Amino acid sequence: MHHSKEQLAECPSNSIAHLTMLVQHHHEAIPFENRAACLVFSVDPAHADTSIGERVSLHTAKIFKKLVLDRRGGWCFEQNALFTTRLRALGYAVETICGDVVTPAMEVAHGKYLDKAMTHMLLLVTTNTSDQFLWDVGFGGRGESPIPIPVPPSAHQPSTCQEDDVGLWGIL
């Protein structure tokens, strides 16, 4: 669903409704793309230390050029970093956090997911009502709009992180 600039302007700033519209606009304008994150290295032994691929930059100006001016997509770190800059300029309190994407197909070793790498970037956004939401504008491949996940205030306490029956940790 596309919202007009007038509808966006009518929403109270820093509200969940305003944030939802901003996310929808971002999602419609910037696709997921990870080709720059997959460097192609030369197979010539004389040039084994050089890549022929594109290097990913997390510098805001370079991300803006790639995603907005060059009208390309980006992966989670690029998209969430760009969106963080925009939200902060609009007065939102935003924390960038690391996470990992886990699917049932990733379960290994007796049903346990063992990869402890944090390879995904997410946003923890505080609205004008002091509610916090976990947002992700950089998750690609499925095409649906991002959905806010309310974060209860108690979730910041380590005691609320619990392991489930297959060994995955989550905020409960």
Q: 144 is written with which tokens? A: 């649906």
> 13-28 burial by CB neighbour count: b if 16+ within 10 A, else e?
ebebebbbbbbbebbe
Q: pTM (2 decimals)? A: 0.71
Is 76 assigned a catalytic role?
yes
Q: Which of 76, 115, 156, 165 is catalytic?
A: 76
Share the mean pLDDT of the chain.
Answer: 73
Q: Is the pLDDT of residue 38 over 60?
A: yes
Tens digits of residue pLDDT in 87-107: 999 999 999 988 777 666 665
Q: What is the pLDDT of residue 42?
A: 46
Q: Give me the amino acid identity at 127.
A: T
Nearest to 99 by CA among 118, 125, 78: 118
Please report the pLDDT score of residue 122 as a whole number. Answer: 86
**Catalytic residue, candidates 136, 156, 161, 165:** 136
What residue ranges do the domains of the chain occupy?
Answer: 5-171
Catalytic residue chosen out of the listed positions 26, 27, 120, 164: 120
Residue 157 has pLDDT above 90, yes or no: no
> Measured between alpha carbons, how far is 30 from 75 in angstroms, rounded to an integer?
10
In the chain, which ranges are continuous DSSP H helix?
A: 5-10, 16-29, 60-64, 76-89
> Tell me, which fold does domain 5-171 have in CATH?
Arylamine N-acetyltransferase fold (3.30.2140)
Q: How confident is the model at residue 109 (pLDDT cuts 50, 70, 90)?
A: very low
pLDDT at 39 over 60: no
Query: Catalytic residue at 11?
Result: no
Q: How far apart are CA 107 and CA 122, in angstroms?
A: 22
Structure-model confidence comparison of residues 23 and 45, the more confident one = 23
Between 11 and 129, the higher pLDDT residue: 129
Active site residue 120: yes
Please say if the pLDDT value at position 3 is more than 50: yes
What is residue 171's predicted lDDT score, i.e. its pLDDT? 46
DSSP state of 11: S
Residue type, 91: G
Res. 62 pLDDT band, cuts 50 70 90: very high
pLDDT of residue 162: 52
Spatial contact of 96 and 136, defined as CB atoms under 8 Å apart: no
For residue 160, is it left (φ>0), alpha (ψ between -120 and 50) or beta?
alpha
